[in-house]
């Protein structure tokens, strides 16, 4: 990465193009660069990550020694095919196949390779390589697919945020005109292969280079009043969120995610309840401008602050505040944005180490959470869920066969407590592979103290930090609500049946009654379906409604309406 003076020039956010799980939460990791003197070896890095509860890392090359060091660690790893190998990978499928075999086939799944980044910032700094980018990605994907891993390893490429020419207001985000064709082709590839859109976001650079950006806005301080999107009125309390939503709307402008984007200056209802998204910010952070002190120098919070060299915003205090706020936010499960409040988000903090061998100014060398010998630059909270509530659930994107395999292993060899999901037991309903697999996987995860790697299940599991609405727990009440993904026509049919033939108590959703507002098909259908479900004391399939219903274990929230329960 090179931090140019152009404030939008960044790289690496993982944006899920397709719909994903309804469970809220996200992955928290670090970017592991090695341009530093006296840096600790990869084996010690793995131990450092484990000690600090860091469950994911990304490297910027394909060093087999590093890939081997992560073997059996339980830590997810992103590897890279560097720019200098792009042309060969594009021209020769055999070259790409050999590279994949040597760097993926020889290690996966013992090394949990999460993604392959093909090239780096080609659409920004290396347009001369643009002709090779998509052919190389396709050849790498084909090679991974030939190994049978295409549904478990994502293939993408980091795009600099400079590709977004309009970033404010966020609802008007647009890609640069000269890059729109390439971006459209890239998004099409990612959508076809079920992969990520990668872009890096550095609010620090915006604060440094753009006048009148508030410090608290850049740092993501919880008490900041916010900045208003002048087009739709949404309030942004974090600059990072504004950059994420600008990227979303730039994608929508090219036809990807259009159904989630308002077509007017107001926020439509379809925006708030549309396709669920997941974002993984693969590179974001703040430099600390702190170097290891020489003998007899006065230190500040573990390092010497080079005030004569420091750029605006580059300080140890700002770095600690930005990254601490980000970690606390992720561990609390607050992964949504103003435009997509229900979305999930993965975050990779740049970077693990201060890298004194990098070119550029002071900031470029001092993004690290640690010095190269493994000692911390400043105090940070653990990245793990230790001491915090967390759950392990199935990712339905992997398919029923793999979820079933995880369920069978957890209930068998894993020793999970699967009694409650047997027929007639408290958590048998909903009787779906996803629900049962999530219950069993979470039982295994909790029994093993939520340790590193105990929610992997060969890529089926994902850790979330908010109680999943659809995860049954013995003793908890349940409700039946409409699944908005089925569309208004099927929700209306379920509403009509429940209030008619089903005999649900629908008086509270009549005009002027207590639950008439909000006057939407989803809210009214949910009330009627829940009335039917509760009347039948949660009987099997009483929340099916031809696939329009879903059982949840958290009281529904539709305005001020109180949904009845059996308790």
Measure the CA–CA gap between 335 and 320, rounded to whole angstroms.
Answer: 20
Sign for the CA dihedral angle at 384, 390, 396, 400 comes to positive
Which residues have C-beta within 8 Å of that of residue 264, sequence separation ≥ 6? none
Give the three-state DSSP class for 210. coil
Query: Active-site residue among 47, 84, 102, 283?
Result: 283
Which residues have C-beta within 8 Å of that of residue 446, sequence separation ≥ 6? 391, 392
Whether 196 contacts 8, CB under 8 Å: no
Query: Active-site residue among 114, 121, 434, 522?
Result: 121
112-118 and 76-81 strand pairing:
parallel
Measure the CA–CA gap between 468 and 224, rounded to whole angstroms.
Answer: 29
Sign for the CA dihedral angle at 448, 450, 453, 456 comes to positive
Counting beta carbons within 10 angstroms of the beta carbon of residue 511, is it exposed (0 to 12), middle (13 to 18) or buried (19 or more)?
exposed
Whether 436 contacts 406, CB under 8 Å: no
Full 3-state SS string of 45-67: HHHHHHHCCCCEEECCCCCHHHH
To the nearest 10 degrees (0 to 180), the angle between helices 400-411 and 433-447 is 40
344 Ramachandran zone, left/alpha/beta (phi>0; psi -120 to 50): beta
What dihedral do alpha carbons 168, 174, 178, 181 form, nearest 10°?
160
172 CB neighbour count, 10 Å cutoff: 17
Q: Closest Cα partner for 286 from 328, 312, 314? A: 314
Catalytic site residue 328?
Answer: no
Which phi and psi angles does 170 have, rounded to 5°?
Answer: -55, -30
Measure the CA–CA gap between 148 and 139, rounded to whole angstroms.
Answer: 14
Helix count (H) and strand count (E) of the chain? 16, 20
507 CB neighbour count, 10 Å cutoff: 11
Which phi and psi angles does 449 have, rounded to 5°?
Answer: 65, 25
Whether 321 contacts 328, CB under 8 Å: no
Helix (H) or strand (E) holding 324: helix 316-331
Catalytic site residue 473?
Answer: no
Measure the CA–CA gap between 461 and 438, rounded to whole angstroms.
Answer: 8
Measure the CA–CA gap between 148 and 153, rounded to whole angstroms.
Answer: 10
212 CB neighbour count, 10 Å cutoff: 4
Question: Could you tell me which residues are beta bridge partners of residue 159?
Answer: 199
Q: Closest Cα partner for 44 from 63, 62, 70, 64? A: 70
Measure the CA–CA gap between 498 and 535, rounded to whole angstroms.
Answer: 11
Measure the CA–CA gap between 231 and 170, rounded to whole angstroms.
Answer: 9
Annotated active-site positions, please? 121, 283
């Amino acid at each position: 990465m090179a931090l140019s003076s152009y404030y939008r020039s960044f790289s690496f956010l993982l944006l899920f193009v397709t719909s994903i799980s309804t469970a809220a939460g996200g992955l928290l990791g670090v970017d592991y660069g090695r341009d530093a003197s006296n840096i600790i070896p990869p084996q010690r890095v793995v131990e450092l990550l484990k000690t600090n509860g860091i469950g994911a890392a990304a490297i910027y090359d394909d060093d087999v020694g590093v890939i081997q060091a992560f073997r059996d660690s339980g830590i997810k790893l992103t590897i890279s095919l560097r720019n200098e190998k792009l042309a060969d990978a594009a021209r020769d499928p055999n070259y790409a196949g050999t590279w994949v075999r040597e760097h993926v086939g020889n290690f996966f799944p013992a090394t949990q390779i999460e993604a392959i980044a093909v090239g780096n910032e080609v659409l920004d700094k290396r347009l001369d390589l643009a002709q090779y980018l998509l052919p190389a990605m396709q050849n790498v994907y084909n090679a991974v697919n030939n190994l049978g891993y295409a549904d478990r390893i994502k293939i993408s490429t980091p795009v600099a945020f400079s590709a977004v020419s309009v970033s404010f207001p966020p609802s008007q985000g647009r890609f640069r005109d000269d890059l729109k064709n390439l971006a459209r082709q890239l998004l099409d590839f990612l959508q076809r292969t079920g992969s990520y859109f990668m872009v890096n976001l550095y609010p620090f650079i915006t604060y440094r280079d753009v006048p009148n950006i508030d410090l608290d806005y850049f740092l993501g301080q919880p008490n900041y009043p916010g900045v208003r999107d002048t087009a739709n009125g949404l309030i942004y309390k974090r600059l990072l969120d504004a950059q994420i939503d600008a990227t979303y709307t730039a994608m929508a402008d090219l036809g990807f995610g259009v159904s989630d984007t308002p077509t007017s200056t107001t926020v439509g209802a379809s925006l708030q309840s549309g396709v669920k998204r997941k974002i993984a910010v693969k590179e974001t952070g703040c430099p600390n401008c702190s170097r290891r002190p020489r003998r007899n120098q006065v230190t500040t919070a573990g390092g010497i602050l080079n005030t004569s060299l420091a750029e605006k915003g580059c300080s140890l205090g700002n770095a600690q505040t930005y990254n601490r706020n980000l970690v606390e936010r992720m561990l609390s499960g607050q992964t949504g944005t103003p435009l997509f409040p229900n979305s999930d988000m993965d975050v990779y903090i740049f970077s693990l180490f201060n890298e004194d061998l990098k070119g550029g100014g002071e900031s470029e060398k001092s993004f690290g959470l640690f010095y190269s010998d493994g000692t911390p630059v400043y105090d940070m909270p653990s990245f793990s869920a230790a001491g915090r509530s967390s759950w392990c659930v199935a990712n339905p994107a992997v398919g029923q066969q793999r979820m079933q395999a995880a369920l069978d292993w957890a209930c068998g060899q894993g020793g999970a407590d699967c009694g409650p999901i047997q027929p007639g037991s408290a958590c048998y309903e909903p009787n779906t592979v996803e629900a049962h697999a999530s219950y069993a996987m979470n039982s295994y995860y909790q029994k093993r103290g939520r340790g590193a790697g105990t929610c992997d299940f060969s890529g089926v599991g994902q850790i979330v930090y908010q109680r999943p609405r659809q995860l049954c727990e013995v003793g908890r009440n349940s409700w039946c609500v409409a699944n908005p993904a089925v569309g208004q026509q099927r929700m209306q049919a379920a509403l009509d049946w429940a209030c008619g033939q089903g005999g649900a108590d629908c008086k509270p959703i009549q005009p002027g009654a207590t639950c008439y507002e909000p006057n939407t098909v989803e809210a009214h259908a949910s009330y009627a379906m829940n009335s039917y479900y509760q009347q039948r004391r949660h009987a099997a399939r009483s929340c099916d409604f031809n696939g329009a219903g879903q059982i949840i274990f958290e009281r529904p929230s539709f305005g001020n309406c109180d949904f009845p329960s059996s308790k």
